[in-house]
Structure 1
Amino acid sequence: MTSPSPDQIPDQTELLARIADALDRLAPPPLASCDWLSHPAYVWTGETARAVPTLDAPSLALLRGIDDQKDRVVTNVERLAAGHAAHDMLLWGSRGMGKSALLRAAIRSAQNVHPGSIALVQVAQEALSGVTGLFATLGKIDRRFLVFIDDLGFEENDGSGPRLLRSWLEGGVEARPGNVRLAVTSNRRAIVARNMSEQDDPINPRDAVDDRLALADRFGLSIGFHNCDQDAYLAIIGGYAREFGLDWEESDALEWSRRRGARSGRVAWQYVNELAGRAGKTI
């Protein structure tokens, strides 16, 4: 059987061009580059970053009942913003006591003192596998960054997550660069749940000290946040009420906490928001 001569082969150039054009239309558009110098905050998706033009953060003065925690976090973030030695931070403990709000407020305060010097980069837990790539990018930027992982918690059978976290904190090829520090919030000091009965208690006295559970030891600052007692809860409300010129009654505030089933900074703030609504005010 003889092969066809070149002039007998159909010209498929046009067909191939149409196929290539169709594939181009199906392919996702190229990811836009991120301006890492111009915004106060970013959200990391695992593959790329989205700039946040305005950082939503309360005033530090409005964060009541956590004065010691506030001093330690603000001091550390300001050191990072100034280019000085600073710690990775684990903020752990009771829900609703202002862990995440404090980090955002500390960043905004540092940005006011050192304009343009520092930014917050929030990473969702499902995007943790892409953080090594994020570090590679941030290490090339002439700016300081606080990489923030909110409400982190690994299940007992999750081995890869804790290993990633340790590798970032302990050095090695995947460690975070010198201009980056990690800030993690968690309801459990150990971060890794030991069993279902202990997951409900964020401050478990039987936290293990073995290598798998003692991730808190890898953070330079490990700061606990504890539930309010009644006096602290009322003091938080009193501070907010004075700030916003709101009238309130102790019995009403206690009834609010009983209906919510908790006393915390978050519950106190929600009560103050209720007071403002009753008074026809915005806060």
Structure 2
Amino acid sequence: MVRDRRYDVDLYAAAHVYSDLCRELMEYGGNLAAYLLHAAKYDINPFSLGCAADGGQSLDAVVWDAARNDLHSLAKIGMLTSGDIKAELRARTGALSEMVNLLPDFTGSDRGADIENLADFYQKNGIGIYAKYRAFSFSNQEGIQPIRSFDSIRLSDLKRYEIQRQKIIENTLGFLHNQPYNNVLLYGDRGTGKSSTVKALLNEYAEQGLRMVEVSKQDLIYIGKLLHEVGQMEKTKLKFILFIDDLTFNEDDENFGILKALLEGSLTGRPKNLAVYATTNRRHLIKETFSSREGDEVHMADTIDESLSLSDRFGLTVTFVKPDKAGFLDIVEKIAADRGLEIERELLLKGAERFALSRSGRSPRLARQYIDHVQARLALGLAID
């Protein structure tokens, strides 16, 4: 089809771009100004970086002026409506009004960002996705991705183990306030709340700038990408916990050396706003293979020494062990009280002990699972057994 030379825009191509825009605006109530304000708010640029570091005090006046001009331009664009764009489409494509009117509508408004408020937002919350989210995952394939539905557990939800948690809390507060701190290894039995403690720390101190990036052991070899990204935030208030859950290594695992170098600070580019927190249920972090157990004593001793040398590099090791019967039942009672469950104490505790004996033994995780079971049955009017 020959295009009429009086018109310089292809209707079908323009309609496709226009529809993509409308799809993006749906998340912002179909308002162009709201969309642009959000884009400016979470952009990473010299102005946002400078404001996150010190409120913009160290930025040159030319950077402030450029930011003001950009915000002014965005505010003008944000006042455009679908009516303005459709009129332009008719004029530049020669399309009939009936065809253009089939396209979806959007609104505009005078909702430009105030530069002082924006600078204050950057300083208080950080920049980019780190201002919008608190928890992230890292992999070689996808890089750093936000975790949109993060475990909401709080420190107050965790029962007993007060001494262990207090050590980790104090270390984390030192990290947040630019004081000396240690990397942390949480060691102990399964289900004792090691991972939950780290997640609860994030929920407790996110407002103070704490963020968490979970990394699998297999992706440690690619950690340079993460260190570079976190290093860009080094002058901001943001502090990052690199979280490795269920840490173990096989012999000759190249990730062992990577983590060892990261912990001792010899890995190039480790930023000061990064701490490593890891959990494990193994006393020795290096798994012994059958062949190594059959090997000579010197080899076995070397394996154990390597494992201990890695553990020592964490600086702070906190041990969690399964509770005894009295401790387990105390946890059960406290969780039940938190949830306001109305049930006879003797019935609750006898049921808890039977529940534990029929499974893997007593632990805080099992106590929570039992209370979930009881709460559901009570809500349905059923007996708890």
Report the CA distance shift for 1:175/1:100 in structure 2 as closer, same or farther (over 3 A).
farther
Kept after mapping to 2: 8 A contact 1:46/1:128: no
The corresponding residue for 2:359 is 260
Q: Please state how far the C-alpha of 1:161 moved relative to its aligned partner.
A: 1.9
Does structure 1 retain, via aligned residues, the 8 Å contact 2:228–2:269? no
Map Cα deviations across residues 102-158 of structure 1 (whole Å, 9 max, x no partner): 00101111124x2xx121111122221111221122112122100101111112342
Structure 1 residue matching 2:368: 3-state secondary structure: helix
Q: Which runs of 5+ in 2 are unaligned?
A: 1-43, 45-127, 291-300, 381-385
| Cα distance in 2 between the residues matched to 1:37 and 1:189 | 37
Q: Distance in 2 between matches of 1:105 and 1:180?
A: 18
TM-score (structure 1 length as normaliser): 0.77
The 3 A distance-change label for structure 1 pair 273 and 243 is same
Report deviation, 1:62: 1.4
Please show how residues 122-271 of structure 1 align to structure 2 within 5 Å.
122-141=214-233, 142=236, 143-158=238-253, 160-174=254-268, 176-195=270-289, 210-246=305-341, 247=343, 248-271=347-370
Compute the RMSD of aligned alpha carbons: 2.6
Among candidates 181, 184, 189, match of residue 89 of structure 1: 184
Residues 168 and 175 in structure 1, CA contact (< 8 A), matched pair in contact too:
no
**Per-residue CA distance 1:53-106 (angstroms, 9 max, x = gap):** 453231211111211111111222222223322211001110000101100101
CA distance in structure 1 between the partners assigned to 2:257 and 2:157 by the alignment: 37
1:86 aligns to what SS in structure 2? coil
Stretches of 4+ aligned residues off by more than 6 angstroms: none
What is the alpha-carbon distance in structure 2 between the residues aligned to residue 208 and residue 255 of structure 1? 41
Identify which range, 129-138 or 54-63, moves more after superposition: 54-63
Amino acid at match of 1:192: I
8 Å CA contact 1:57–1:101 kept in 2: the answer is no
Task: Encode CA deviations 1:150-205: one digit per residue, 9 max, x unaligned.
Answer: 111112342x1211111001122436311100001111132112346xxxxxxxxx
SS of structure 1 residue aligned to 2:287: coil
Which has the larger Rg? 2
Inter-partner Cα distance in structure 1 for 2:280 and 2:156: 23
- 3-state DSSP class of the match of 1:211? helix
Residue pair 1:190, 1:207 contacting (<8 A) in 2 also: no
**How many percent identity over aligned positions?**
28
Read off the aligned partner of 1:92 and give its amino acid letter.
Y
More relative contact order, 1 or 2 (CA 8 Å, 6+ apart): 1
In structure 1, how many angstroms separate the alpha carbons of the residues matched to 2:350 and 2:307? Answer: 46
SS at match of 1:182: strand
**Hey, what's the Cα distance between the residues in 1 that align with 2:152 and 2:196?**
6
SS at match of 2:246: coil
Distance across 1 between alignment mates of 2:361 and 2:179: 39
Whether the 8 Å CA contact 1:40–1:54 is kept in 2: the answer is no
- Distance in 1, Cα, partners of 2:307 & 2:359: 35
What TM-score results when the alignment is normalised by the length of structure 2?
0.58
Q: Give 2:351's aligned amino acid.
A: D
In terms of fraction of residues, the more helix-rich structure is 2
The question of 1:38 aligning with 2:115 is answered no
Amino acid at match of 1:122: E
1:119 equivalent to 2:211? Answer yes
Unmatched 5+ residue regions in structure 1? 1-32, 197-205
Q: Assess if the C-alpha contact under 8 Å between 1:42 and 1:52 holds in 2.
A: yes
